[in-house]
Structure 1
Amino acid sequence: MRRPPASAHQRTLPLRRRLKKTGVAALSLIAPLLYRAYMALVCATSRIDLSGLEPLFASRSTGSSAILALLHQDVFAGPYLIRNRRIITFVSISDAGTIVASLLERLGFCVERGGTSSRMSRLVPVFSRLVARCREHTRHGGAIVVFACDGSRGPAGAVQPGVALFAMKTGARIYCAKLDARPAMFLRTWDRTLIPLPFSRIRVHVDGPIEVPGGRKREDLDGLRLRIEKSLHELHARAFGGRRPIPKLIGLGEAGRPARAGRIPARS
Protein backbone atom coordinates (compact mmCIF):
# COMPACT_ATOMS: atom_id res chain seq x y z
CA MET A 1 0.00 0.00 0.00
CA ARG A 2 1.38 3.38 -1.01
CA ARG A 3 1.86 6.00 1.69
CA PRO A 4 -0.27 9.11 1.31
CA PRO A 5 1.73 12.06 0.00
CA ALA A 6 3.14 14.40 2.64
CA SER A 7 1.28 17.64 3.11
CA ALA A 8 2.79 20.90 1.92
CA HIS A 9 3.41 21.88 5.54
CA GLN A 10 5.29 18.64 6.24
CA ARG A 11 7.39 19.02 3.09
CA THR A 12 8.47 22.53 4.03
CA LEU A 13 9.46 21.67 7.61
CA PRO A 14 13.24 21.45 8.04
CA LEU A 15 14.51 17.92 8.63
CA ARG A 16 15.70 18.81 12.10
CA ARG A 17 12.26 20.07 13.07
CA ARG A 18 10.54 16.99 11.63
CA LEU A 19 12.85 14.72 13.62
CA LYS A 20 12.13 16.76 16.74
CA LYS A 21 8.38 16.47 16.23
CA THR A 22 8.75 12.71 15.81
CA GLY A 23 10.76 12.52 19.03
CA VAL A 24 8.18 14.57 20.93
CA ALA A 25 5.39 12.31 19.67
CA ALA A 26 7.32 9.22 20.78
CA LEU A 27 8.04 10.65 24.22
CA SER A 28 4.37 11.60 24.59
CA LEU A 29 3.59 7.88 24.38
CA ILE A 30 6.52 6.52 26.41
CA ALA A 31 6.89 9.09 29.23
CA PRO A 32 3.37 8.57 30.69
CA LEU A 33 3.95 4.80 30.86
CA LEU A 34 7.28 5.15 32.66
CA TYR A 35 5.93 7.82 35.00
CA ARG A 36 2.84 5.83 35.96
CA ALA A 37 4.88 2.68 36.53
CA TYR A 38 7.30 4.51 38.83
CA MET A 39 4.63 6.35 40.81
CA ALA A 40 2.58 3.15 41.14
CA LEU A 41 5.63 1.51 42.72
CA VAL A 42 6.11 4.47 45.07
CA CYS A 43 2.46 4.49 46.14
CA ALA A 44 2.32 0.72 46.58
CA THR A 45 5.28 0.76 48.96
CA SER A 46 4.65 4.05 50.80
CA ARG A 47 2.41 5.37 53.56
CA ILE A 48 0.33 8.18 52.08
CA ASP A 49 -1.80 10.75 53.91
CA LEU A 50 -3.99 12.93 51.69
CA SER A 51 -6.54 13.73 54.40
CA GLY A 52 -5.64 17.43 54.27
CA LEU A 53 -7.14 17.60 50.77
CA GLU A 54 -10.54 16.24 51.78
CA PRO A 55 -12.14 19.71 52.28
CA LEU A 56 -10.96 20.67 48.77
CA PHE A 57 -12.47 17.56 47.20
CA ALA A 58 -15.65 17.95 49.25
CA SER A 59 -16.11 21.51 47.97
CA ARG A 60 -16.91 20.12 44.54
CA SER A 61 -19.99 18.33 45.90
CA THR A 62 -21.49 21.71 46.80
CA GLY A 63 -21.31 22.85 43.18
CA SER A 64 -18.68 25.49 43.88
CA SER A 65 -15.26 26.17 42.37
CA ALA A 66 -11.92 25.92 44.14
CA ILE A 67 -8.26 26.51 43.36
CA LEU A 68 -5.42 24.21 44.42
CA ALA A 69 -2.27 26.34 44.69
CA LEU A 70 1.04 24.45 44.60
CA LEU A 71 4.73 25.20 44.27
CA HIS A 72 6.36 24.08 41.04
CA GLN A 73 8.57 21.76 43.11
CA ASP A 74 5.62 19.37 43.46
CA VAL A 75 4.69 19.03 39.78
CA PHE A 76 6.29 15.59 39.45
CA ALA A 77 4.52 13.65 42.20
CA GLY A 78 1.45 15.83 42.73
CA PRO A 79 -0.51 14.89 39.60
CA TYR A 80 -0.42 11.16 40.33
CA LEU A 81 -1.64 11.66 43.90
CA ILE A 82 -4.73 13.60 42.75
CA ARG A 83 -5.38 11.73 39.50
CA ASN A 84 -8.75 10.82 37.97
CA ARG A 85 -10.67 13.75 39.47
CA ARG A 86 -11.23 15.84 36.30
CA ILE A 87 -9.11 18.64 37.74
CA ILE A 88 -8.48 21.55 35.38
CA THR A 89 -4.97 22.81 34.67
CA PHE A 90 -2.94 24.39 31.89
CA VAL A 91 0.34 23.55 30.16
CA SER A 92 2.53 25.65 27.91
CA ILE A 93 2.57 25.17 24.15
CA SER A 94 6.17 24.00 24.10
CA ASP A 95 7.53 20.62 23.07
CA ALA A 96 7.99 19.71 26.74
CA GLY A 97 4.44 20.94 27.34
CA THR A 98 3.14 18.51 24.71
CA ILE A 99 4.68 15.62 26.63
CA VAL A 100 3.36 16.88 29.97
CA ALA A 101 -0.13 17.45 28.54
CA SER A 102 -0.22 13.87 27.24
CA LEU A 103 0.73 12.58 30.68
CA LEU A 104 -1.83 14.71 32.52
CA GLU A 105 -4.65 13.77 30.19
CA ARG A 106 -3.92 10.09 30.82
CA LEU A 107 -4.17 10.83 34.53
CA GLY A 108 -7.67 12.24 34.07
CA PHE A 109 -6.87 15.97 34.06
CA CYS A 110 -8.66 18.50 31.84
CA VAL A 111 -5.79 20.33 30.16
CA GLU A 112 -5.80 23.72 28.46
CA ARG A 113 -2.80 24.66 26.34
CA GLY A 114 -1.26 28.12 26.14
CA GLY A 115 0.89 30.58 28.02
CA THR A 116 4.59 31.09 27.64
CA SER A 117 6.92 29.58 25.09
CA SER A 118 10.40 30.22 23.75
CA ARG A 119 8.88 30.85 20.31
CA MET A 120 6.86 34.04 19.87
CA SER A 121 4.59 32.28 17.37
CA ARG A 122 3.45 29.98 20.18
CA LEU A 123 2.32 32.62 22.66
CA VAL A 124 -1.33 31.73 23.19
CA PRO A 125 -3.58 33.37 25.79
CA VAL A 126 -5.06 30.74 28.07
CA PHE A 127 -6.62 32.73 30.93
CA SER A 128 -10.03 33.26 29.34
CA ARG A 129 -10.29 29.60 28.34
CA LEU A 130 -9.45 28.53 31.88
CA VAL A 131 -12.20 30.77 33.23
CA ALA A 132 -14.68 29.35 30.72
CA ARG A 133 -13.70 25.75 31.54
CA CYS A 134 -14.04 26.46 35.27
CA ARG A 135 -17.54 27.89 34.81
CA GLU A 136 -18.58 24.95 32.65
CA HIS A 137 -17.46 22.46 35.32
CA THR A 138 -19.15 24.51 38.05
CA ARG A 139 -22.48 24.31 36.19
CA HIS A 140 -22.11 20.52 36.11
CA GLY A 141 -21.28 19.87 39.76
CA GLY A 142 -18.20 21.88 40.77
CA ALA A 143 -14.69 22.67 39.58
CA ILE A 144 -11.13 22.37 40.85
CA VAL A 145 -8.34 24.26 39.07
CA VAL A 146 -4.70 23.66 39.95
CA PHE A 147 -1.93 26.28 39.62
CA ALA A 148 1.83 25.83 40.01
CA CYS A 149 2.07 29.36 41.35
CA ASP A 150 5.80 30.05 40.90
CA GLY A 151 6.15 28.37 37.50
CA SER A 152 7.17 27.89 34.91
CA ARG A 153 10.53 29.61 35.22
CA GLY A 154 10.68 30.71 38.85
CA PRO A 155 12.33 31.85 40.96
CA ALA A 156 11.21 29.28 43.49
CA GLY A 157 8.56 30.65 45.83
CA ALA A 158 7.81 33.82 43.85
CA VAL A 159 4.05 33.48 43.39
CA GLN A 160 2.88 35.06 40.15
CA PRO A 161 -0.32 37.16 40.15
CA GLY A 162 -2.22 34.87 37.77
CA VAL A 163 -3.65 32.65 40.50
CA ALA A 164 -4.97 35.64 42.46
CA LEU A 165 -6.37 37.19 39.28
CA PHE A 166 -8.15 33.93 38.42
CA ALA A 167 -9.63 33.71 41.92
CA MET A 168 -10.93 37.28 41.75
CA LYS A 169 -12.44 36.64 38.33
CA THR A 170 -14.21 33.41 39.27
CA GLY A 171 -14.75 33.75 43.03
CA ALA A 172 -13.09 30.35 43.56
CA ARG A 173 -11.77 29.76 47.07
CA ILE A 174 -8.09 28.91 47.36
CA TYR A 175 -6.45 25.94 49.06
CA CYS A 176 -2.65 26.03 49.29
CA ALA A 177 -0.83 22.69 49.50
CA LYS A 178 2.73 21.39 49.89
CA LEU A 179 3.95 17.84 49.43
CA ASP A 180 6.13 16.23 52.09
CA ALA A 181 7.92 12.98 51.17
CA ARG A 182 10.63 11.25 53.18
CA PRO A 183 12.91 9.93 51.80
CA ALA A 184 12.93 11.89 48.56
CA MET A 185 15.28 13.06 45.84
CA PHE A 186 15.57 16.72 44.80
CA LEU A 187 16.60 17.36 41.20
CA ARG A 188 19.08 20.14 40.49
CA THR A 189 16.54 22.25 38.65
CA TRP A 190 15.52 25.82 39.50
CA ASP A 191 12.57 24.49 41.54
CA ARG A 192 14.48 21.51 43.03
CA THR A 193 11.78 19.14 41.80
CA LEU A 194 10.78 16.64 44.49
CA ILE A 195 10.73 12.96 43.54
CA PRO A 196 9.51 10.63 46.31
CA LEU A 197 11.38 7.35 46.64
CA PRO A 198 9.82 3.93 47.23
CA PHE A 199 9.02 3.09 50.85
CA SER A 200 8.42 6.76 51.67
CA ARG A 201 6.07 8.54 54.01
CA ILE A 202 4.08 10.97 51.90
CA ARG A 203 1.85 13.68 53.30
CA VAL A 204 0.19 16.77 51.86
CA HIS A 205 0.11 19.85 54.11
CA VAL A 206 -2.86 22.11 53.33
CA ASP A 207 -3.94 25.63 54.28
CA GLY A 208 -7.31 27.07 53.40
CA PRO A 209 -9.74 27.91 52.22
CA ILE A 210 -8.56 31.45 51.55
CA GLU A 211 -11.55 33.66 50.88
CA VAL A 212 -11.39 35.97 47.88
CA PRO A 213 -11.89 39.71 48.55
CA GLY A 214 -14.95 41.27 47.00
CA GLY A 215 -13.15 44.41 45.80
CA ARG A 216 -11.61 45.03 42.40
CA LYS A 217 -8.78 47.35 43.43
CA ARG A 218 -5.16 46.62 42.64
CA GLU A 219 -4.50 46.56 46.38
CA ASP A 220 -6.98 43.67 46.73
CA LEU A 221 -5.14 41.68 44.06
CA ASP A 222 -1.72 42.37 45.59
CA GLY A 223 -2.99 41.47 49.05
CA LEU A 224 -4.43 38.17 47.87
CA ARG A 225 -1.25 37.28 45.97
CA LEU A 226 0.84 37.98 49.08
CA ARG A 227 -1.54 35.88 51.21
CA ILE A 228 -1.09 32.91 48.85
CA GLU A 229 2.68 33.39 48.77
CA LYS A 230 2.91 33.59 52.57
CA SER A 231 0.80 30.44 52.96
CA LEU A 232 2.93 28.43 50.51
CA HIS A 233 6.15 29.57 52.18
CA GLU A 234 4.83 28.53 55.60
CA LEU A 235 3.70 25.14 54.29
CA HIS A 236 7.10 24.66 52.65
CA ALA A 237 8.84 25.26 55.99
CA ARG A 238 6.39 22.96 57.78
CA ALA A 239 7.01 20.16 55.29
CA PHE A 240 10.69 20.12 56.19
CA GLY A 241 9.91 19.95 59.91
CA GLY A 242 12.78 22.06 61.22
CA ARG A 243 15.27 20.86 58.62
CA ARG A 244 16.78 23.29 56.16
CA PRO A 245 14.17 23.72 53.39
CA ILE A 246 15.11 22.80 49.82
CA PRO A 247 15.16 25.17 48.06
CA LYS A 248 15.13 28.43 50.00
CA LEU A 249 12.09 30.31 48.76
CA ILE A 250 11.93 34.00 47.92
CA GLY A 251 9.00 36.32 47.35
CA LEU A 252 8.15 37.97 44.06
CA GLY A 253 9.27 41.34 45.43
CA GLU A 254 12.63 39.87 46.49
CA ALA A 255 13.07 38.54 42.96
CA GLY A 256 13.07 42.11 41.69
CA ARG A 257 10.09 41.48 39.43
CA PRO A 258 6.94 43.61 39.69
CA ALA A 259 3.65 41.76 40.06
CA ARG A 260 2.10 42.76 36.77
CA ALA A 261 -1.41 41.53 36.25
CA GLY A 262 -3.05 44.05 33.98
CA ARG A 263 -6.61 45.26 34.53
CA ILE A 264 -8.57 43.77 37.42
CA PRO A 265 -11.53 42.02 35.77
CA ALA A 266 -15.11 42.11 36.95
CA ARG A 267 -16.39 38.92 38.52
CA SER A 268 -19.24 37.37 36.60
Structure 2
Amino acid sequence: MARIPVVTSFGGINAAGRSSGHHGYRRMVIDALDEAAAQETWRSLAAIMNIQGDITAEIRRYIEAHTLVRKLEPQYFDASNAIWNRKLALRPGDHAICFDLPRRDLPDQLPEGWGIDPLDEKTVRVSIEKPCEMYVQDGRDLAAKAAGQLPTGFEPQALYAARSHPRGLQMALYAASDAVGHLGLDWQVIADRVPADTISLYAGSALSQVDTHGNGGALSSRYQGKRITSKQVTLGLAEMPADFVNAYVLGNLGASGHNMGAC
Protein backbone atom coordinates (compact mmCIF):
# COMPACT_ATOMS: atom_id res chain seq x y z
CA MET A 1 0.00 0.00 0.00
CA ALA A 2 1.37 3.38 -1.00
CA ARG A 3 1.93 5.85 1.78
CA ILE A 4 0.59 9.27 0.84
CA PRO A 5 1.72 12.29 2.84
CA VAL A 6 -1.21 14.37 4.06
CA VAL A 7 -0.82 17.92 5.33
CA THR A 8 -3.87 19.17 7.18
CA SER A 9 -4.94 22.48 8.60
CA PHE A 10 -8.16 24.00 9.83
CA GLY A 11 -9.45 27.48 10.48
CA GLY A 12 -12.59 29.53 10.61
CA ILE A 13 -14.85 31.44 12.92
CA ASN A 14 -18.04 30.65 14.79
CA ALA A 15 -19.89 31.73 17.92
CA ALA A 16 -17.07 30.39 20.10
CA GLY A 17 -14.29 32.24 18.27
CA ARG A 18 -11.52 31.10 15.94
CA SER A 19 -11.28 27.42 15.08
CA SER A 20 -7.52 27.57 14.57
CA GLY A 21 -5.45 27.01 17.66
CA HIS A 22 -8.47 25.19 19.12
CA HIS A 23 -9.67 28.51 20.55
CA GLY A 24 -13.30 27.82 19.64
CA TYR A 25 -13.23 24.48 21.44
CA ARG A 26 -11.41 25.99 24.40
CA ARG A 27 -14.06 28.69 24.75
CA MET A 28 -16.71 26.00 25.22
CA VAL A 29 -14.72 24.25 27.96
CA ILE A 30 -12.93 27.28 29.32
CA ASP A 31 -14.07 26.66 32.91
CA ALA A 32 -12.16 23.36 32.84
CA LEU A 33 -8.90 24.83 31.49
CA ASP A 34 -5.88 25.81 33.51
CA GLU A 35 -5.28 29.53 33.90
CA ALA A 36 -2.58 29.78 31.22
CA ALA A 37 -4.67 28.07 28.52
CA ALA A 38 -7.78 30.03 29.50
CA GLN A 39 -5.88 33.32 29.39
CA GLU A 40 -4.62 32.54 25.89
CA THR A 41 -8.20 31.96 24.72
CA TRP A 42 -9.47 35.14 26.40
CA ARG A 43 -6.74 37.09 24.58
CA SER A 44 -7.66 35.47 21.26
CA LEU A 45 -11.32 36.40 21.72
CA ALA A 46 -10.47 39.92 22.83
CA ALA A 47 -8.36 40.42 19.71
CA ILE A 48 -11.09 39.44 17.25
CA MET A 49 -13.70 41.39 19.26
CA ASN A 50 -11.55 44.54 19.06
CA ILE A 51 -11.18 44.77 22.83
CA GLN A 52 -8.07 46.64 23.91
CA GLY A 53 -6.13 46.45 27.15
CA ASP A 54 -5.60 43.82 29.82
CA ILE A 55 -8.05 40.96 30.33
CA THR A 56 -9.76 42.06 33.52
CA ALA A 57 -12.63 40.29 35.28
CA GLU A 58 -15.04 42.81 33.75
CA ILE A 59 -13.76 42.10 30.24
CA ARG A 60 -14.06 38.37 30.86
CA ARG A 61 -17.70 38.81 31.82
CA TYR A 62 -18.28 40.86 28.67
CA ILE A 63 -16.67 38.21 26.46
CA GLU A 64 -18.68 35.46 28.17
CA ALA A 65 -21.91 37.38 27.52
CA HIS A 66 -21.10 38.11 23.87
CA THR A 67 -19.95 34.71 22.61
CA LEU A 68 -21.58 31.28 22.14
CA VAL A 69 -25.37 30.91 21.89
CA ARG A 70 -27.00 34.01 23.33
CA LYS A 71 -29.80 36.49 22.87
CA LEU A 72 -29.96 37.73 19.29
CA GLU A 73 -28.22 41.06 18.99
CA PRO A 74 -30.22 43.70 17.07
CA GLN A 75 -27.33 44.69 14.78
CA TYR A 76 -27.71 41.23 13.23
CA PHE A 77 -31.43 40.58 13.59
CA ASP A 78 -34.04 42.31 15.74
CA ALA A 79 -36.14 39.38 16.96
CA SER A 80 -38.50 41.72 18.82
CA ASN A 81 -39.35 43.55 15.60
CA ALA A 82 -39.12 41.06 12.74
CA ILE A 83 -40.42 42.83 9.64
CA TRP A 84 -43.26 41.23 7.72
CA ASN A 85 -46.29 42.35 5.70
CA ARG A 86 -49.77 42.39 7.20
CA LYS A 87 -52.61 41.84 4.74
CA LEU A 88 -55.47 44.33 5.13
CA ALA A 89 -58.95 44.13 3.61
CA LEU A 90 -60.03 47.74 3.03
CA ARG A 91 -63.64 48.74 2.50
CA PRO A 92 -64.63 52.32 1.66
CA GLY A 93 -67.03 53.94 4.13
CA ASP A 94 -69.41 56.74 3.15
CA HIS A 95 -66.70 58.18 0.90
CA ALA A 96 -63.98 56.81 -1.33
CA ILE A 97 -60.56 56.09 0.13
CA CYS A 98 -58.28 58.89 -1.13
CA PHE A 99 -54.55 59.47 -0.99
CA ASP A 100 -51.92 61.32 -2.99
CA LEU A 101 -49.11 59.44 -4.69
CA PRO A 102 -46.08 60.28 -6.84
CA ARG A 103 -46.94 59.42 -10.42
CA ARG A 104 -43.83 57.23 -10.71
CA ASP A 105 -45.11 55.00 -7.87
CA LEU A 106 -48.37 54.07 -9.58
CA PRO A 107 -48.75 50.34 -10.28
CA ASP A 108 -48.20 49.31 -13.89
CA GLN A 109 -51.60 47.62 -13.77
CA LEU A 110 -54.15 49.64 -11.81
CA PRO A 111 -56.24 47.56 -9.39
CA GLU A 112 -59.96 47.39 -10.03
CA GLY A 113 -61.82 50.34 -8.54
CA TRP A 114 -58.92 52.79 -8.57
CA GLY A 115 -59.61 56.26 -9.95
CA ILE A 116 -56.68 58.52 -10.86
CA ASP A 117 -56.86 62.33 -10.87
CA PRO A 118 -53.70 64.29 -11.83
CA LEU A 119 -52.75 67.02 -9.35
CA ASP A 120 -49.64 68.19 -11.20
CA GLU A 121 -46.95 66.74 -13.45
CA LYS A 122 -45.51 64.55 -10.69
CA THR A 123 -48.43 63.80 -8.35
CA VAL A 124 -51.80 62.09 -8.68
CA ARG A 125 -54.73 61.54 -6.34
CA VAL A 126 -55.98 57.98 -6.03
CA SER A 127 -59.64 57.34 -5.19
CA ILE A 128 -60.69 53.80 -4.27
CA GLU A 129 -64.41 53.15 -4.37
CA LYS A 130 -64.42 49.34 -4.13
CA PRO A 131 -63.12 46.94 -1.47
CA CYS A 132 -59.47 46.09 -1.98
CA GLU A 133 -56.53 44.37 -0.32
CA MET A 134 -53.31 46.06 0.74
CA TYR A 135 -50.15 45.02 2.54
CA VAL A 136 -48.77 47.15 5.36
CA GLN A 137 -45.32 46.68 6.87
CA ASP A 138 -45.54 45.44 10.44
CA GLY A 139 -43.19 44.16 13.12
CA ARG A 140 -43.57 40.84 14.90
CA ASP A 141 -42.14 39.85 18.26
CA LEU A 142 -40.67 36.38 17.69
CA ALA A 143 -40.86 33.75 20.41
CA ALA A 144 -37.33 32.46 19.69
CA LYS A 145 -34.74 35.11 20.52
CA ALA A 146 -31.48 33.17 20.96
CA ALA A 147 -28.99 31.84 18.44
CA GLY A 148 -25.32 31.30 17.79
CA GLN A 149 -23.73 34.52 16.53
CA LEU A 150 -20.20 35.59 15.77
CA PRO A 151 -18.45 37.17 18.76
CA THR A 152 -19.66 40.74 19.16
CA GLY A 153 -17.30 43.20 17.52
CA PHE A 154 -15.92 40.76 14.96
CA GLU A 155 -16.90 41.96 11.48
CA PRO A 156 -15.24 39.93 8.70
CA GLN A 157 -16.16 42.49 6.04
CA ALA A 158 -13.85 45.00 7.75
CA LEU A 159 -10.83 42.80 7.00
CA TYR A 160 -11.00 43.10 3.20
CA ALA A 161 -12.89 44.86 0.40
CA ALA A 162 -16.16 42.99 0.90
CA ARG A 163 -18.16 44.80 -1.82
CA SER A 164 -21.60 43.71 -0.56
CA HIS A 165 -20.58 40.09 -0.02
CA PRO A 166 -23.08 37.88 1.84
CA ARG A 167 -22.00 37.15 5.40
CA GLY A 168 -21.55 33.45 4.67
CA LEU A 169 -19.05 34.29 1.94
CA GLN A 170 -17.23 36.68 4.27
CA MET A 171 -16.90 33.90 6.85
CA ALA A 172 -15.70 31.43 4.20
CA LEU A 173 -12.98 33.83 3.06
CA TYR A 174 -11.86 34.32 6.64
CA ALA A 175 -11.88 30.56 7.22
CA ALA A 176 -9.78 29.88 4.12
CA SER A 177 -7.26 32.55 5.09
CA ASP A 178 -7.13 31.23 8.65
CA ALA A 179 -6.61 27.63 7.53
CA VAL A 180 -3.93 28.51 4.97
CA GLY A 181 -2.18 30.69 7.53
CA HIS A 182 -1.96 27.77 9.97
CA LEU A 183 -0.83 25.21 7.43
CA GLY A 184 2.73 25.20 8.70
CA LEU A 185 3.98 25.92 5.18
CA ASP A 186 3.90 29.10 3.18
CA TRP A 187 1.16 28.72 0.55
CA GLN A 188 3.55 29.86 -2.17
CA VAL A 189 5.76 26.85 -1.42
CA ILE A 190 2.83 24.58 -2.25
CA ALA A 191 1.74 26.64 -5.26
CA ASP A 192 5.25 26.43 -6.71
CA ARG A 193 5.19 22.63 -6.57
CA VAL A 194 1.57 21.72 -7.31
CA PRO A 195 -0.05 22.66 -10.66
CA ALA A 196 -2.90 25.14 -10.26
CA ASP A 197 -5.32 22.92 -12.16
CA THR A 198 -4.86 20.04 -9.71
CA ILE A 199 -5.86 21.98 -6.59
CA SER A 200 -9.55 21.64 -5.71
CA LEU A 201 -11.73 23.38 -3.17
CA TYR A 202 -15.08 22.29 -1.79
CA ALA A 203 -17.26 24.55 0.33
CA GLY A 204 -20.85 25.71 0.42
CA SER A 205 -24.08 26.06 2.34
CA ALA A 206 -27.20 23.91 2.06
CA LEU A 207 -29.30 27.08 2.33
CA SER A 208 -27.07 29.04 -0.08
CA GLN A 209 -26.37 32.69 0.81
CA VAL A 210 -29.67 33.93 2.23
CA ASP A 211 -28.93 37.37 3.67
CA THR A 212 -29.87 40.61 1.92
CA HIS A 213 -26.72 40.57 -0.23
CA GLY A 214 -27.57 37.13 -1.65
CA ASN A 215 -30.67 35.07 -2.37
CA GLY A 216 -32.49 36.54 0.62
CA GLY A 217 -32.37 39.95 -1.00
CA ALA A 218 -33.16 38.57 -4.45
CA LEU A 219 -36.28 36.81 -3.16
CA SER A 220 -37.56 39.62 -0.94
CA SER A 221 -36.68 42.77 -2.89
CA ARG A 222 -39.83 42.87 -5.02
CA TYR A 223 -42.04 42.37 -1.98
CA GLN A 224 -40.30 45.32 -0.33
CA GLY A 225 -40.60 47.59 -3.35
CA LYS A 226 -36.88 47.35 -4.10
CA ARG A 227 -34.91 46.29 -7.16
CA ILE A 228 -33.10 42.98 -7.51
CA THR A 229 -29.41 43.36 -8.33
CA SER A 230 -27.21 41.09 -10.42
CA LYS A 231 -24.85 40.77 -7.44
CA GLN A 232 -27.60 39.22 -5.31
CA VAL A 233 -28.21 36.53 -7.92
CA THR A 234 -24.58 35.53 -8.45
CA LEU A 235 -23.35 35.93 -4.86
CA GLY A 236 -26.36 33.95 -3.64
CA LEU A 237 -25.18 30.71 -5.26
CA ALA A 238 -24.67 27.89 -2.76
CA GLU A 239 -21.22 27.09 -4.15
CA MET A 240 -20.05 30.72 -4.25
CA PRO A 241 -17.71 30.35 -1.21
CA ALA A 242 -15.81 27.56 -2.99
CA ASP A 243 -15.69 29.33 -6.34
CA PHE A 244 -14.66 32.66 -4.85
CA VAL A 245 -11.91 31.29 -2.61
CA ASN A 246 -10.64 28.98 -5.35
CA ALA A 247 -10.36 31.67 -8.01
CA TYR A 248 -9.75 34.94 -6.22
CA VAL A 249 -7.93 33.96 -3.03
CA LEU A 250 -5.82 30.93 -3.98
CA GLY A 251 -5.70 31.51 -7.73
CA ASN A 252 -6.45 27.87 -8.53
CA LEU A 253 -7.79 26.42 -11.77
CA GLY A 254 -8.88 23.05 -10.38
CA ALA A 255 -12.30 21.74 -9.52
CA SER A 256 -14.56 23.48 -7.03
CA GLY A 257 -17.95 22.55 -5.67
CA HIS A 258 -19.88 21.56 -2.59
CA ASN A 259 -22.03 18.82 -1.09
CA MET A 260 -25.59 19.55 -0.08
CA GLY A 261 -27.85 17.29 1.92
CA ALA A 262 -30.71 17.30 4.37
CA CYS A 263 -28.68 15.80 7.22
TM-score by shorter chain over 0.5 = no
Structure with greater Cα Rg: 2
Q: TM-score range by the shorter chain?
A: under 0.3
Give the structure with the higher percent helix: 1
User: Which has the higher relative contact order, 1 or 2, with Cα contacts under 8 A spaced 6 or more apart?
Assistant: 1
Instruction: State TM-score, norm by structure 1.
Output: 0.26
